[in-house]
Amino acid sequence: MPMNYEQATAAYEPTLGLEVHVELNTKSKMFCSCATEFGAEPNTQTCPVCLGLPGSLPVVNAMAIESTILIGLALNCSIAPFSRFARKNYFYPDMPKNFQTSQYDEPICVDGYLDVEIETDEGPKTFRVDIERVHMEEDTGKSLHVGGSTGRIHGAEYSLLDYNRAGIPLVEIVTRIVPGTGKYAPLVARAYVTELRDILRSLGVSDVKMEQGSLRCDVNLSLAPIGSDKLGTRSETKNVNSLRSVERAVSGEFVRQANRLESGERIVQETRHFLEESGETRPGRSKETAEDYRYFPEPDLVPVTPDADWIEELRKSLPEKPSLRRKRLQEEWNVPAKEMESMVNAELLDVVEETVKLGADATRARSWWLGEVSRLANEKEVAPTTLINANQVAEVIALIVTGELTDKLARQVVEGVINGEGTPREVIDKRGLKVVSDDSALMIAIEAAIAAQPDTAERVRGGNLPAAGALIGAVMKATGGQADAAKVRELLLKHLGQS
């Protein structure tokens, strides 16, 4: 009987390590001025530098350095006063230069940490993930493997290359090994990548879209029998492209390795690929050792020596940490943790905060964004923020508060704005959605209702207030639901001498 996850975690202690690659969102590439648009036609964003043509020379993108320093600072790293690029030599055609410009022993940022909180059986617990280094490199081209049954590199007859992505600035964030996570290793891994993603997003340095590959995670895991102080052999799982997959990759590898060790087999140090469908991993190429890459300092680039003033200036510009911001907003808005989580997961926290800043109350802002707007966005399969902005939602909410719109009318206004009928005001005018609050217009409807139901009116006059419901209903019907019911009631009762 193979071990399941529970049995595996009862017998083995994991050691976790995570490497995250993040594509920066600079307009131009790392070492040349080609554009970095995602999804452009193949090989339309290439030049002699990123194609590695003879005689071309790279020049470093200042914005990429700035973004990397920001990342380092946000992760509590020291910024190296002197750092250098290095060539990582290898012969896959995803880099036309036959090397990747990277950093080796002199990265820009070193020795940081990131604290992540997870729910354990004993309540919330914080794990400190030490960051070994944050270094700069360039992304590789995209290969399309042709022939063979699987579209995989193995068995392919030939491959086709698009170098648009080659040379896009890439930052690699490497943790030290994270010991002592036990059965929580998958949750710690996921929480780390989530928190890192939120930080990167708050810095505005990357799109951090895992599904588009602008944030990619490699999971290193090794196991040792509980109580042994030795480290096991690790595997490196690549291709982990969602937060959920990070969690699944760790638990999947945990079980696989435990079962191998249990049956007396050896763990091979290798690169494995995560399979989205099954949550399992399959072996990839066996890892080349660092020596095989024959790193050496890049002679075409000069060292980077950021001065202290620049670093301090960047440090001052750091935004509030996402974890602290979430706590602050949760308190300010007085919402349960679950609600906060759904806003974060729906990527609506920013826009809800913006809407609140524009004067909307937090409860309404949250429920409009998570409710009606998200529903319409789901129907259209787009992000809610592409349909309507915070200003417009805040305006609709303000009109609800002043009584000019009912919730029902407000939904029609939102729908109109989303359909491109203009601003909320314009939609209200065009569709004639305004709540009828003009007293004289209402009085006409009230008198008509009384004339139609004289007996009911008489009962109300006699003090039977619940009977007023029928008259109010008639007025609402006559005004097409656009009247404010509370206002109608007030006017009606006054008219019948009951207030």
Interface with another protein (CB under 8 A): 26-28, 33-35, 41-48, 51, 53, 59-65, 84, 89-93, 96, 143-145, 153-154, 156-163, 285, 288, 292, 294, 296-299, 301-306
Judge whether 215 and 208 are in contact, CB under 8 Å: yes
* Residue 177 Cβ vs another protein, minimum distance, rounded to whole Å: 28
Q: Which is nearer to another protein, 96 or 422 (CB)?
A: 96
* Residue 64 Cβ vs another protein, minimum distance, rounded to whole Å: 7
Q: Element (H or E) spanning 22, and its range?
A: strand 12-23
Q: Which is nearer to another protein, 167 or 322 (CB)?
A: 167
Of the candidates 43, 285, 269, which has an alpha carbon nearest to the alpha carbon of residue 153? 285
* Residue 94 Cβ vs another protein, minimum distance, rounded to whole Å: 9
* Residue 63 Cβ vs another protein, minimum distance, rounded to whole Å: 4
Q: Which is nearer to another protein, 298 or 372 (CB)?
A: 298
Residue 416's Cβ-side half-sphere holds a number of Cα atoms within 13 Å equal to 21
**CA-CA distance, 349 to 366, in Å (whole number)?**
9
* Residue 359 Cβ vs another protein, minimum distance, rounded to whole Å: 36
Q: Which is nearer to another protein, 272 or 489 (CB)?
A: 272
Relative to beta strand 270-274, strand 235-240 is parallel
* Residue 341 Cβ vs another protein, minimum distance, rounded to whole Å: 35
Q: Which is nearer to another protein, 155 or 225 (CB)?
A: 155
Q: Which is nearer to another protein, 93 or 225 (CB)?
A: 93
* Residue 270 Cβ vs another protein, minimum distance, rounded to whole Å: 12
**CA-CA distance, 436 to 92, in Å (whole number)?**
71
Q: Which is nearer to another protein, 71 or 387 (CB)?
A: 71
Crossing angle of the two packed helices 185-203 and 243-262, in degrees rounded to 10: 150
Structure tokens at 192: 């780390």
**CA-CA distance, 93 to 169, in Å (whole number)?**
18
Judge whether 442 and 491 are in contact, CB under 8 Å: yes
Q: Work out the number of other CB atoms within 10 angstroms of the CB of residue 286.
A: 10
* Residue 138 Cβ vs another protein, minimum distance, rounded to whole Å: 14
Q: Work out the number of other CB atoms within 10 angstroms of the CB of residue 283.
A: 11
337-361 burial: b if 16+ Cβ within 10 Å, else e: eebbebbbebebbebbbbbbebebe
Three-class DSSP category at 195: helix
* Residue 161 Cβ vs another protein, minimum distance, rounded to whole Å: 4
- CA dist 329 → 107, 333, 371 (Å): 36, 6, 19
Of the candidates 421, 14, 29, 379, which has an alpha carbon nearest to the alpha carbon of residue 189? 14
List CB contacts of 261: < 8 A, sequence separation 6 or more: 12, 223, 225, 232, 267
Alpha-helix runs per DSSP H in 334-438 = 337-345, 349-357, 362-368, 374-380, 390-401, 407-418, 424-431
* Residue 92 Cβ vs another protein, minimum distance, rounded to whole Å: 6
Q: Which is nearer to another protein, 87 or 326 (CB)?
A: 87
Q: Work out the number of other CB atoms within 10 angstroms of the CB of residue 26.
A: 19
* Residue 299 Cβ vs another protein, minimum distance, rounded to whole Å: 6
